[in-house]
Amino acid sequence: MTPKTFEARCLRLPAATKVVQWEGTSVFKVGGKMFALSGGYTAESGGYMFKVSDMAYGMLIEHGLARPAPYLARAKWVQLVGNNALPDAELTAYLVQAHALIVAKLSKKLRKELGLASPQAGPA
C-alpha cells in the first residue's frame, strides 16, 4: 500500500484526523488518540505502525509480518516489516480495527460528540 493510499484509508474512517509530529511522521487520530502512524521516522525504521488486538499482535509478529512498534509495543502496537507486508485489503481491515479499538476506549460523551455513539469493537 502506498503512503498516499494509507493516508486516504485512515482519513476515510469516522472522525479521523491527521497531524504531523515526530520528524514528519503522519499521526492518525480519533478523539485525540492515535490509531496509526506513517512516514517520518516510521519510514526510516520499516513500515506502517498501528494499534492491534492482543491476538493480532501475536499473530503478525509470529508470522514475521510485523515487529513490536518502538515505544508503543506495551500498548499492543505493531510496525510492519515493510509497507507491502500485507495485501491492501488486509491492511485496510487492520486500520479499521485499530480505529475501532481506540473508539472503544473513548468516553461515551466524546464518542457522542464525534458522532461515534457506539463503539465498533469488542474488548481488546
**pLDDT tens, residue by residue, 25-35:** 999 999 999 99
Going by C-alpha positions, the residue among 1, 5, 10, 96 that lies closest to residue 53 is 96
Span of 49-53, 76-80, 115-119 with lowest mean pLDDT: 115-119
- pLDDT greater than 60 at residue 119: no
SS3 letters for the chain? CCHHHHHHHHHCCCCEEEEEECCCEEEEEECCEEEEEECHHHHHHCCCEEECCHHHHHHHHHCCCEEECCCCHHHCEEEECCCCCCCHHHHHHHHHHHHHHHHHHCCHHHHHHCCCCCCCCCCC
Strands 66-68 and 49-51: unpaired
pLDDT at 22: 82
